[in-house]
Amino acid sequence: MTALPEVLTELQALRVRVPHLTGALVASTDGLVIAHLVTDMEPDGVAALTAAALGVGARLTDAVGHGGFRELLVRGERGYVATYAAGSSCVLTLLAAADANVGRLNLEARRAGTRISELVDSALERRRQL
């Protein structure tokens, strides 16, 4: 799937709303980049790793009886990597600095995930109608 301008616009708005956000990526659940705002790294590699993390997260939540995957937060020495379900066909991955407000990150990412899901679903429906 090629980059969707509407999704890219949503990522840019998210970057404005969340201080200390250093990157954002939307990928299909099988690891293909839909849109991204990342620099100094390969978006295809991040998307592939996101798909792998999504698979592990989904298996983990299922194994413990907590239902379907919703989000995953990883904290490293220099920041956060957060992945959120964005509907059934894609995921939103955000990169944030170590001093990011994680509560704000979660709040805005959940809202953006809903909008991104609607945008991607709409684009897929338009393509099916062609």
**Tens-place pLDDT, residues 22-69:** 999 999 999 999 999 999 999 999 999 999 999 999 999 999 999 999
First-last CA distance in the chain: 15
Neighbours of 91 (CB within 10 A): 28
**Tens-place pLDDT, residues 94-114:** 999 999 999 999 999 999 999
Q: Quick one: average pLDDT of 123-130?
A: 78
Q: Supply the pLDDT for residue 129.
A: 81
Q: Supply the pLDDT for residue 18.
A: 94
Q: Supply the pLDDT for residue 125.
A: 78
8 A C-beta contact, residue 25 and residue 83: no
- Quick one: which of 119, 130, 128 has its CA closest to 5? 119
For the chain, the three-class secondary structure string (H helix, E strand, C coil) is CCCCHHHHHHHHHHHHHCCCEEEEEEEECCCCEEEEECCCCCHHHHHHHHHHHHHHHHHHHHHCCCCCCCEEEEEECCEEEEEEEECCCEEEEEEEECCCCHHHHHHHHHHHHHHHHHHHHHHHHHHHHC
